[in-house]
Amino acid sequence: MSTARRSGALRSAFVALALAAGLAGGCDADKKADLPPPPTPGQGRSNAVTAPGAAAPASATAPASAAAEAAPAAPRLLCAGQSPRPAPSSGGLTAVAAAGAEKLPAHIGFGVGKWVWVNFWAAWCKPCMEEMPRLLGWQQKLRAAGVLVDLAFISIDDDERQLSRFLEAQPGTGVRASYWLPDGPQRAGWLRALGVKETTELPIHAIAAPSGQVTCVIQGAVEDSDYPTIAALLGGKK
């Protein structure tokens, strides 16, 4: 090959290399232009990796803390606005106990220096059955806190045999003794003294102070959340 032709070939090769270098540099610039800008001070990592125009991450719209959740319901105002009244006469009661259970006194001792919690119930009353372990547990808890309180169950079953069958079927830690108050004038007198109508649904609770005055009547079942209110009424720890 002549010297002139060889020089022309070299110039062509240099031109081709220059064009290739220029094209390569343009691709890199385009790639850099497509990259998102670096995060500014104060931006979090999630904002830094979010593409322009994309929706904000779900966490950006979530509540800041659990404090924003709804507050728990306030405790029930049991016994609020009730005036003390004399405890009913304990007449008309029949003490019934399962075999081997400790027998009850003939009368409920109101006004003898301790609290008395009376619970009206019946063997056919499901809410009554469900709350009995709760009442027994509360009595133990109150006594452990230094509160002298007796728990007296009064059944208003129509048939004493129904009551007896229930008591016999209870475990040793359950209710195995109860008073029975059959239908009639004496039951009506008890409920009237408490300000409760005979048609009121069971269970019914009446709490008498050591003085013998009934300070609280609750119509309906009590709940676990009611214990602080009861403990405050009886002067025990919540």
Is residue 60, in this structure, part of any structural domain at all?
Answer: no
**Same-domain status, 10 and 106:** no
Q: What is the pLDDT of residues 76-91, one digit of tens each?
A: 889 888 999 999 987 8
Whether 216 has a pLDDT exceeding 60, the answer reads: yes
Q: What is the pLDDT of residues 5-34, one digit of tens each?
A: 444 444 554 434 443 444 344 344 344 444
Q: What is the pLDDT of residues 104-151, one digit of tens each?
A: 999 999 999 999 999 999 999 999 999 999 999 999 999 999 999 999
The two structure tokens encoding residue 179: 């008073």
CA distance 118 to 89: 13
Q: Exposed, middle or buried, 197 (CB in 10 Å: 0-12/13-18/19+)?
A: exposed
Query: What's the confidence (pLDDT) of residue 90?
Result: 76
Q: What is the CATH number of the domain that holds 130?
A: 3.40.30.10
Is residue 193, in this structure, part of any structural domain at all?
Answer: yes
120-217-106-155 Cα dihedral, nearest 10 degrees: 0
User: How many folded domains does the chain comprise?
Assistant: 2
Of 79, 83, 141, 109, give the one whose Cα is nearest residue 211.
109
Residue type, 88: P
**Same-domain status, 210 and 92:** yes
Burial 39-50 (b: 16+ CB within 10 A, else e): eeeeeeeeeeeb
Cβ of 203: how many Cβ atoms within 10 Å? 23
Is residue 227, in this structure, part of any structural domain at all?
Answer: yes
Q: How confident is the model at residue 234 (pLDDT cuts 50, 70, 90)?
A: very high
Helix (H) and strand (E) counts in the chain: 7, 7
Q: State CA 86 to chain mean position distance.
A: 35
Q: Which residues form the domain of 170?
A: 85-234
Is residue 11, in this structure, part of any structural domain at all?
Answer: yes
CA atoms within 13 A on the CB side of 62: 5
Whether 71 has a pLDDT exceeding 70, the answer reads: no
Is residue 39, in this structure, part of any structural domain at all?
Answer: no
